[in-house]
Amino acid sequence: MRETADIIIREASNKDLENISVCHINSFPKQFQTCMGSKWLKAFYKVYIIDKESIVLVADKSGIGIIGFIIGGPTRIYSEFMRRALYRYWYLLMFGFIRSRIVRKTLIAELVKES
């Protein structure tokens, strides 16, 4: 944990998922993950929080809460999440595909890459 003035940099936990999701939505309004919604984002970031080879840090400002975050880890985490998401979150993918051009474009690119 690192402390600067009234901001603490610390490892994220599952308790932070809602705030990380909100921060992501506010920071990346027209990105694929954002278009998939809060439930998707929480599931996505949870995979990184749980994985032993990744790191998720949050900037926690006193009196405000999480004002930023950073993630890092092996590329396999993203690939594994997307593969599992096809089965676990198919309804979110379908809804996103119907409603968002960004989601359609990204999903088609992912499917082409896998074949």
CA distance 60 to 7: 5
| Tens-level pLDDT at each residue, the chain (115 residues) | 665 678 999 999 999 999 999 999 999 999 999 999 999 999 999 999 999 999 999 999 988 889 999 999 999 999 899 888 888 988 888 988 898 999 999 888 877 876 6
Say if CB 21 and CB 41 are below 8 A apart: yes
How far, CA to CA in Å, does 36 sit from each of 55, 69, 101?
A: 23, 19, 11
